[in-house]
Structure 1
Amino acid sequence: MSRRVEIYLDQLRDRLSFMRFVGLALHQTVPDAKTIWLYREQLKQAGAIEGLFRRFDKVLADQGYLAMGGQIIDATLIAAPRQKLTLEEKATIREGGTPADWSRHKRAQKDRDARWTLKRGRTKPKPEGHQRQTIQIAVPIFGYKSHIGIDRRHGLIRRWTVTDAAQHTQPQLSGPAGSRKHGQSRLGDTAYRTKRNLEVLERRGLSERILFRRPPKRQLSEQQAKANASRARIRSGIEHVFAAQKHRMALFVRTIGLARAQVKIGIANSAYNFTRLAWLSARVAPT
């Protein structure tokens, strides 16, 4: 459980205004960290998180928020506590095994599903004379990867899946973006522009709006550069979802295992849709 949630629970125990807001009387017990953990654990054991998400998606459709304007797909890394392991233990886990000398208690405390990966990026260009130089950076991250697809019109999460952080984004195109009911177009960054993905979209009768990848040692054509600029403005909408989850929700996987990570990230996706619906409802009613 994040430090922010602990602060909220402490305020709930100390302030009458908080208790009134959540509907608790003075004689009632305030939930603690164990209560939240047990709730998530029951969702995991019942395999109910995806069903609950689909149920709320039906509520959105009933209120007129239909996902017919196309879908934007992307993935982001969700960090988890780093594991202190030896090289031999890491090799055994990568092969899908468990070190033989681990006790039952140690196995319960070590996350064997999360993986290391490198988050690549570039620093902002700094003018030096007549040249603009950029520096490529790679930050190691341990944890999981959240793949989501939002509808282009309303910005609501419609499809999601969770993998380890080392999983590439390309195979996930057929997951979050596999349904025709979310519109005919699919928009993503250059990581999704592969021959296999383009064939999948063509076979399903879906139009692609994936950003073009610059060929090695060459520049994009003028037409491709204009297309990328137009598509990037639309694709940036999904970055607001990731920013809200990582900063406002302080999303961080402190649980053990992929199944529990799926529950935690699935709850975060549902919570984002709740707040997004509240914001949309305050604006013009949907057609």
Structure 2
Amino acid sequence: MTDAERETVKGGGIPEEWKGKPAKPRQKDRDRRWTLKRGRKKTCPDGGQAMQIAVPVHGYESHIGADRRHRLIRTWSVSDAASHDGRALPVLLGTSNTGSGVRADTAYRSQRNEKRIAVAGLISKIHFRRAPGTLLPANRQRANAARSRAGSAIGHAFADQKHRMGLFVRTIGIARARTRIGLANLVYNLRRYLHLDTAAAA
């Protein structure tokens, strides 16, 4: 794909060169996006300035909302990899949440989302964000650590899908990606239910 074609696709259009070739748009995923996932900074062996590892990612992102007690997926959403995670929060809040706390990592923290959580009558327990070049106060570090332990239900669901189920999305278009991820979420819930039912019987 040329740079001009890429820009046209990003704008939601179809390049002129593709018109009259119906097979071409069907074979190109026009919904996927590139982004950089930034990891933790690594200290240089010579004591120089720390380097931050950035990994390019292309595709889609799965967002899920799970209950803390049973680790069942209650709400979910799919976006392209470049979309800000915080945009998925309104869908994840749902309307049947019986818990009062909303736990998520710092990518979901914004003033708009904090207002949404308050309007829904819930309590924000989203991780505190550290400003570049600064350290979090000790009380916020402890709060983040506690929230990480409580939010392990999300990590459990993603780990189960990735390692036990071997989930890998290789579809064309976000509609098919949503279908595949939605089915994986359903399968995860069924497996989780069987585990809970067996444990209760024992």
TM-score normalised to the size of structure 1?
Answer: 0.64
Aligned letter for 2:77?
Answer: T
Per the alignment, residue 106 of structure 1 pairs with: 24
| Matched-pair contact (CA < 8 Å) for 2:67–2:153 | no
Q: Which amino acid aligns with 1:178?
A: G
Letter in 2 for 1:117: T
CA distance in 2 between counterparts of 1:260 and 1:156 reads: 23
Structure 1: stretches of 5+ with no match in the other structure: 1-84
Q: Helix, strand or coil: the match of 2:102?
A: strand
Q: Which has the larger radius of gyration?
A: 1
Name the SS of the counterpart of 2:6 in structure 1.
Answer: helix
Residue 64 of structure 1 aligns with which residue?
none
CA distance 1:233–1:275, change in 2 (3 Å): same
The one of 35, 39, 56 equivalent to 1:121 is 39
Say which of 178, 183, 201 aligns to 1:267. Answer: 183
The total of aligned residue pairs comes to: 199
* Deviations 1:153-181, CA, capped at 9 Å, x for gaps: 11110000111111111111111113253
CA deviations 1:131-169 (Å, max 9, x no partner) are 7x8642111111111111000111110000111111111
> Hey, what's the Cα distance between the residues in 2 that align with 1:122 and 1:181?
33
CA displacement 1:109-143 (0-9 Å, x = unmatched)? 111111111122126x67969x7x86421111111
- Pairing 1:159–2:75 present: yes
The answer to whether residue 116 in structure 2 is matched with residue 215 in structure 1 is no
State the Cα distance separating 1:217 from its structure 2 match.
3.0
Within the alignment, does 1:192 sit opposite 2:108 as a pair? yes
Taking the aligned partners of 1:113 and 1:135, their CA distance within structure 2 comes to 31
Contact preservation (8 Å) 1:190, 1:211: yes
Task: State the shift of 1:225 in Å.
Answer: 1.3
3-state SS of paired residue (2:37): strand
Contact 2:109–2:126 at 8 Å: present in 1 too?
A: yes
Task: Normalising by structure 2, report the TM-score.
Answer: 0.90
Q: Distance in 1 between matches of 2:13 and 2:4?
A: 11
Range that drifts further, 271-280 or 243-252: 243-252
Question: How far apart in 2 are the matches of 1:101 and 1:127?
Answer: 48
Once the two structures are TM-superposed, the CA of residue 266 in structure 1 deviates from its matched residue by 0.4
Residue from 129, 154, 157 that aligns with 1:241: 157
**Pairwise mapping of residues 45-56 of structure 1 onto structure 2 (< 5 A)?**
none
Q: Aligned partners of 1:113 and 1:210: how far apart in 2?
A: 29
Q: Percent identity, aligned pairs only?
A: 49
User: Larger relative CO (CA 8 A, sep 6+): 1 or 2?
Assistant: 1
Change (3 A) 1:126 1:254: same
